Structure 1
């Protein structure tokens, strides 16, 4: 009787009976007490609130950073928000976790600092957490993790991997950030399988005496470990993978579509279904990669945030936040143009410093998630920035 009207009604009645028995064991026998327990939320207890609702209602409806302090004034937590009032008020809802409820029970004061944009809020939050090290920032991870597709082009036999961290090593290509691990993992596995790229970790020392792993035996990998393919042949497959990730997805998607149709015409339906799944996964990845437009380390742009009377320019060269300058006049705009002209080529040759990785990730994520009104992006195709580009 599943998914039929009577069967579903009986199942719902059985579940209700189980819940009523659970409530009775908890000593809850009246509806008002059941509602009171529900209002305790998933934390299992009522939120101990020491900040008046009026104080939260008075917070600005603007991007910025908020700092939560205890009754002694000690800093407990630092966070960022697109809209401060909405974000802070969410801490006092019934849907908070036990860890968040514990934080809120110790909060007696909330301070805020508004910023020109959510990008500046994210950069300020990261800097303040590094400097002040609030205890609850280590316990609470509110943002969904961002993932980067990585290809180490300095390896003789590169592989396509997924990571939450960017690498400072020279020659590592990063594409992203992506939100949601499962779909991206499926896509890069399909890409590696189609092109025969290895998935094993570590540095290879190819030898004809090596017996390939199960993937090599099944034909999912070209097995460079036992010299079934030479460096040049493998490099060509890597080149096709990089071309796909940079947005030239047509050749590989076309091949997959033809293979799917040929398998279906020959009545090899399981094989056709496998090609169809690979095609769907890579089409999704191609769409997301195209939307991101460029590899992180190839981002060269200027982000202008704020209103006409209070604007700032953030210069991003080779993916790195190279300069932030308050645009308080023509002289400031001239300095920004001069900086771009002097550093555009230098940053292409400059190795990524480990201390730059966090800001690179923040900028890349902001570019992916930004709303149309959160800032103006000026893409750079060379060291020359038009004199009118920074005008309001």
Structure 2
């Protein structure tokens, strides 16, 4: 199969970035290359090397990149590493942010050294960003990493910038496939060259008449054929803008197929993007349109899981969430924060950190000796362990006083014993607590036990979601009336709600979609912990987003 006909998310990509002595490829030289290889939407390998430019590195380049004359003095020349670069590229799609810049340097380095240019197809994430994120004022690498909440380490280094670009590309894949119908590498190459200037080609009067009625609001849209069968269902922050992409001359192949099959456009307006996402998922399952994929993949979220199956529960980081009897705190913004919170718990509370297989051997380990575990494997004092576990749960719920008190005492004792390195480690943990990392979770209770009202600022009206121990109720949703939502909420405060023992697949699906959206849109939401609110009227007075209708 030709590389360009491989499915978009199955192809192999090499994201590369050059650091150079200046901006003119004709007159300047490369001083560093970084390459990141992606396969199946995962980073699988990296390559980097300094490159001797045969000249001095200008001082302003050193200030920008940190690369000095000493760094490149003994480095190989471009022609010496070119075969390594080609071998690493292989048959992959080449990718760069502002491809024109990096590709021009690749071209001139080859010309200057008499080498052949690689013939791999190439893609520019800057051009893709202009199509995918037209609302962003800047599509620079730094702007995109901030918008997508990607940690950009080692800025202005070859491998650092290539790694950030690779993570941006991976984030783009789902949007390209689900919202822009880009299915193959050839679709991707074509998509990046499209401009945002519209050249309309609405070929059916019925579609043109329906398109005129589409509002510029969030919602779900349906393409239907003459038999009223649903051909395709999609969602959008702006229905008008999203649907306009279906009627351009150079639309992707799948988009053209949908329009060809369709005879009618209908829509269902929602208050926010979240309720559009939820409605889309449920309507796709109901109608099973020919051009929709039933299974959506969600961005990976990170939770702290407190297990319940073991006699002595453990605290662990996980990306999986389910109603399996365990308690799940989160989600957290990224893996690093989840791991740091786990580290704070490990260094503060005396809970076991071992696997069940190791625990069953009934042999205490060094953690008991350094007072980081009660050693329940040999010391079956459940009361002491439960006390430690309860304090860890309080910490995960946003209360830090017990952690600070214990760590300050420990740091003081270590200092008095002149164990200054160990005291410094405890100080670092205390500083992490002061950064309020443990409050980075969306919810202060385990997700599976939360009793929460979620207030969401909408475009015209606000959305309200009620989460009661895994059941999610949505005000004015496609399958639920306002009256039902309000009755459930009032019954909760009256103590008349019998909480739900059976959690369905639909409940789990709704919750996964909701948590995935909430973690990315914290500025648009307000969480109301119902356990701290005494009445329906008190809750109403606490709502913060003004009603717009």
- Superposed pair shares fold, TM > 0.5: yes
Of the two structures, which has the highest relative contact order with CA contacts closer than 8 Å and spacing of 6 or more? 1
| Deviation of the 1:188 alpha carbon | 0.9
1:52 to 1:240, Cα distance in 2 relative to 1, 3 A: same
Aligned to 1:25: 116
Asked if residue 268 in structure 1 is aligned to residue 414 in structure 2, the reply is no
Distance change >3 Å, CA 115–CA 276, structure 1 → 2: same
Out of 335, 338, 362, the position equivalent to 2:487 is 338
Residues paired across the two proteins, number: 362
Task: From the superposition, tell whether residues 82 and 264 of structure 1 become closer, same or farther in structure 2 (CA, over 3 Å).
Answer: farther
Contact 2:301 2:319 (C-alpha < 8 Å) held by counterparts: yes
1:234 corresponds to: 385
Deviations 1:95-124 (A, max 9, x none): xxxxxxxx9553324777542112202212
Alignment correspondent of 1:353? 503
> Equivalent residue for 1:94?
none
Structure 1 position 181 matched with structure 2 position 335 = yes
Distance 1:295 1:268, change over 3 A: same
Q: 1:186 Cα shift?
A: 3.0
- What residue is the counterpart of 2:349 in the other structure? 195
The change in CA–CA distance for 1:367 and 1:21 in structure 2 (over 3 A counts) is: closer
Give yes or no for contact 2:218–2:238 (8 Å, CA) kept in 1. Answer: yes
Superposed CA offset, 1:57-93 (max 9, x none): 9986533346899xxxx999866544567789999xx
- CA offset digits 1:41-68 (Å, max 9, x no partner): 9758622579984469998653334689
List alignment gaps of at least 5 residues for structure 2. 1-56, 82-101, 130-168, 170-184, 202-210, 260-264
Runs of 5+ in structure 1 lacking a partner? 92-102
Q: Distance in 2 between matches of 1:386 and 1:36?
A: 54
1:69-80 aligned within 5 A = 80=235
Q: 1:121 to 1:37 in 2, by over 3 A?
A: closer
Equivalent residue for 1:211? 363
Structure 2 partner of 1:286: 438
Q: Look up the SS of the partner of 2:439 in the other structure.
A: helix
2: CA distance between counterparts of 1:76 and 1:270? 65
CA contact (8 A) 1:302 1:315 kept: yes
| Contact 2:236–2:273 (Cα < 8 Å) also in 1 | yes
Counterpart-to-counterpart distance in 2, 1:90 and 1:197: 55
Match of 1:97 in 2: none
Contact 1:116 1:311 in 2 (8 A): yes
8 Å CA contact 1:123, 1:359 repeated in 2: yes
Q: Distance in 2 between matches of 1:340 and 1:379?
A: 13
SS in 1 for 2:354: coil
> Does structure 2 retain, via aligned residues, the 8 Å contact 1:68–1:107?
no
> Aligned equivalents of 1:228 and 1:312: distance in 2?
51
1:121-132 equivalences under 5 Å are 121-131=276-286, 132=288
Q: Give the match for residue 96 of structure 1.
A: none
Describe the SS at the equivalent of 1:341.
helix
Is 1:317–2:471 an aligned residue pair?
A: no
**CA contact under 8 A between 1:149 and 1:161: conserved in structure 2?**
yes
Alpha-carbon distance between aligned partners in 2 of 1:302 and 1:250, rounded to the nearest angstrom: 27
CA distance 1:380–1:186, shift in 2 (3 Å): closer
State whether structure 2 residue 255 is matched by structure 1 residue 107.
yes
* Cα pair 2:454 2:464 within 8 Å, conserved: yes
1:124-153 per-residue CA deviation (whole Å, 9 max, x = no partner) reads 233245443878858985x53112222235
Shift of 1:335: 5.0
Per-residue deviation, 1:234: 0.7
Q: Secondary structure at the match of 2:312?
A: coil
Using the size of structure 2 for normalisation, the TM-score is 0.51
Distance, in Å, in 2 between the alignment partners of 1:261 and 1:354 is 51
For 2:374, the equivalent position in structure 1 comes to 222
Partners of 2:282 and 2:329 in 1: CA distance: 24
* Residues 8 and 263 of structure 1: CA distance in aligned 2, closer, same or farther (over 3 Å): same
The residue that corresponds to 1:120 in the other structure is: 275
Say if 1:173 and 1:295, in contact at 8 Å, map to a contact too: yes
Moved more, 253-262 or 227-236: 253-262
d(CA) in 2 for partners of 1:378 and 1:125?
26
